Structure 1
Amino acid sequence: MNGDLRVSFKPVPATNYVRMTVSVNGTRFRMTLKHIIPSDFQEELISLSSTLFRIYKESLLQHKPITAKELKKQLTASTPSLLYKTIYRSCTSHFLSIGKTISLEQYQFQLKTIKSIPIFCQLTYGIPEISILALPDTFLDQLEAFFANHSTEKHRSREQVQLIRTILLKEYRKGNIKLSDPLNQQLTLHNILEELTPEDVFYLQEVHLPCHYAAIRDIFIFSCFTGLNYASIKQLTCRQLRTMSDGSLWLFLKEEQIPLPDLSKQISNKISKISNDQLLFNKIPTIQLINRVLHIIALKSNIYKTITFKSAGKYYLSQQSVTKTKR
């Protein structure tokens, strides 16, 4: 093989064994491999060589010249978390829900994004697969540059990057992978900064949606302007909404009154024909379903952020803070 890594295999006479000799950066080690399945042995040797080259290349990326002793140690250690395999495995169950929580178009887009990761690794690092712990601190910047320059859907490159970021953070929080401290900080910081803006909320209000999606969107928007959580909204009745003499709509709670100027038309039309004792929002779905649908609604609104129902409460608090600052 090229560079400072050389791998050779030599059959041991009168046995089913093969001796592997590996030279790297002026050091060397040997291993005896048992030849078990003749038909697959060539592929096994190629796979072994590829693994050695990946480990060697990862050491170069980290500016740490590797020795034969360390190379052998990593080769015989448990398989590390690899970028492409982790991302694909994480989405496998998600892909099985086509037509339920994900549309066919979204499935095709996400699958295309995930399948482009080996191409990204090859063009960026010179290897089609890389260990997650070996990713450099510049990984996210390199990923954004790759999708911006090589994606067939350049207008959706931000969404592609967000998909990979979300998957890595989810797998890390589950304890399935380990991340370097700098990369973990970047992913976490990015997630914290992904707060809704007034423009985002406007796009969510304006996007045309099927009735079952629109109902969930309305509940989410209501939370954005009131700060009420899922449990509180489920208990609201129309009696708590009152139209004042000037035509403004207010929500009356036990401890406070909340003006709803941005929702007056939407809500007034919906409650004009129902009794005061009736729940404001009937048949509210489970929070799990709401969060899944919010992801779809966000994409339809061209918002490439991870949105859950809690995002509405955070938005409300951020807007309250802005209002107090202006005062």
Structure 2
Amino acid sequence: MNKTLKIHFYLKKRGTYVSGDLPIYLRLTVDGKRTEFSTQREWDPSKWNQKAGRATGLKKEETRQLNSFLETLQSKIYEAQRELLNKGIDVTANLIRNKLLGKEEIGKTLLEVYSHHVQQVAALVGRGYAQGTLKRYKAALSSLEAFLKHQQKGDVPLRDLKYQFITDYEFFLKTVRNVDHNTAMGIIKKLKTIVRQCVANNWIEKDPFISFKIRIHDTNRAFLLQDELDRIIEKTFLSDRLTSVRDIFVFSCYTGLAYADVKKLTRADIVTGIDGEQWIYTERVKTEATTRLPILPAALRILEKYRTHPQCVNEGKLLPVISNAKMNEYLKEIAERCEINKELTFHCARHTFATTVTLTNGVPIETVSKMLGHRSLRTTQQYAKILDRKISDDMKALRNKLDSRSGDAATA
């Protein structure tokens, strides 16, 4: 953002001044706000051009030296202004003054630190971070740059990060960027990670997130009921592409593996478990948590079906997985063909495993959490659904129990 910068050198009179040289002061004005300080030089008022702010009598060496000094000082002011602008820092008269006097360093800026973190994540993809994590960090950085531009700022010093900055950022995300609450919280959570690093490095004295609470609203995660899943399994497709996408989706429904985890599966990930049955031993791409799960018959049949598939043989993979975007595109078509009025995505399969396939059939949530590769049980609880069928079965058992007691009491 361009700001008006004015530079003026003048002689400052003391209250008790009678005669003699006066100190030369520099007045800096940026957008109407000014600061003044001494140049550590003095000059005779009778040989001073007040309008030009320069010494007169150019034929004298002393005059030329003073004016040369003032010109150099003025050049340093413009240089300091350019440096601040290049860093995207909001230029003020005090910032320029402090930089000239060497009293205060500019310090690190928010985008500088954030960009460095994103570069580190990029370098560690596959060695601690997933490609999707990098993509989300880049998107969050882009939204932060847009927010600063919206505020007519190129960047901000870390010392300027306050609670108000975070709340303004949240408001911007929800209004200007039009993202929902949970998405906004996810973006702000990444900013919080950066800020915590700055606090740990003593680049920020006080954590602006101390009073800001990141709250995620509960959402209804799409999943399939058993009859909907059966409808997809039993549907005959003439297209090979829809058939293979359906099979891979169903495989995920019976294993709970995410798209990235299914895509990377190889024959080496299939082992004989403690029970003598076939198990999958793998690490989740997203969290690097170890996942160990028995392979249910429905999933085993799909693996056997694609054992000799050319793509699987050539690439050493278990299933011929295509891009996630194409998978989700074809799943929408599958949903229409099967008359399922839900947004069918690959992640829906993971929800279906957690709810319809396991929890609804009485598998303890602790076991489901382990199979999903979650580090915390709280994460699994987001997937857990108490379905109408489960409620009906539980209440039916209670009803029968109460009826039995009533019958016993009547015959007593």
TM-score by length of 2: 0.38
- Point out the structure with the larger helix share: 1
Q: Which has the higher contact order (CA 8 A, sep 6+)?
A: 1
What TM-score, normalized to structure 1?
0.45
